[in-house]
Chains A and B, each alone.
Chain A
Amino acid sequence: AQSVAQPEDQVNVAEGNPLTVKCTYSVSGNPYLFWYVQYPNRGLQFLLKYITGDNLVKGSYGFEAEFNKSQTSFHLKKPSALVSDSALYFCAVRRNSGNTPLVFGKGTRLSVIA
């Protein structure tokens, strides 16, 4: 069965500094990996995905993520954090193509301090 681990419940970073939100996964076969962001009392917004190809994936709002097969990781990064990036971030995996459900991590709360 597939699973996702987000080892940090909370990440604090100063505005303008780089940020990293960690994610590791376990899945049989090729993983399809996703990052979503959730603002208070809102649904999930898609940030980026890795399906195949380049290990560095660029997404919305200046975010990017690096797929590392040997470490089974898919960390989310941004070179310069904004206060408006403060939100709850979820990493998710699905095991193959098509319409299989997503398996989510527990989420990491990012706080960007001015």
Chain B
Amino acid sequence: NAGVMQNPRHLVRRRGQEARLRCSPMKGHSHVYWYRQLPEEGLKFMVYLQKENIIDESGMPKERFSAEFPKEGPSILRIQQVVRGDSAAYFCASSPTLAGGTYNEQFFGPGTRLTVL
């Protein structure tokens, strides 16, 4: 069972361009989370999605950022009109839906490192 996959691993954009980050959860996982890690800081929650639904986007900036997790294909984190402050590592995690739903561990991908010039 392959782990959580993210691509690209490294992404360089100029100010004003768009960044699209992809996350393929582990097989059988229907819950996806996006976190952002700024240099020398911990991970900050951005958004939590299930298939075709955004469950919690309380950590997402109100403008320029959007996320989706379509019925088919990977989850996408999209950043429009990037600025230098968007430079960070973006991590995706996935978890399964277990019977009873008592606890679902999150498995992390290797991250995408976005650099905005």
Contacts and interface: CB of A to CB of B under 8 A. Distances in A.
Interface of A: 4, 32, 36, 41-46, 49, 51, 90, 97-107
Contacts of B59: 101
Interface of B: 4, 6, 31, 33, 35, 41-45, 48, 55-56, 59, 91, 93, 95, 97, 101-111, 113
B101 A90 contact: no
A44 B56 contact: no
B41 A97 contact: no
Overall SS of chain A's interface = loop
Nearest to A6: B42
A46 B56 CA distance: 23
A98 B106 CA distance: 11
Given A4-B42, A103-B45, 18 more contacts: A32-B103, A42-B110, A42-B111, A43-B6, A43-B109, A43-B110, A44-B93, A44-B108, A45-B108, A46-B105, A97-B103, A98-B101, A99-B31, A99-B48, A99-B55, A104-B42, A104-B43, A105-B42
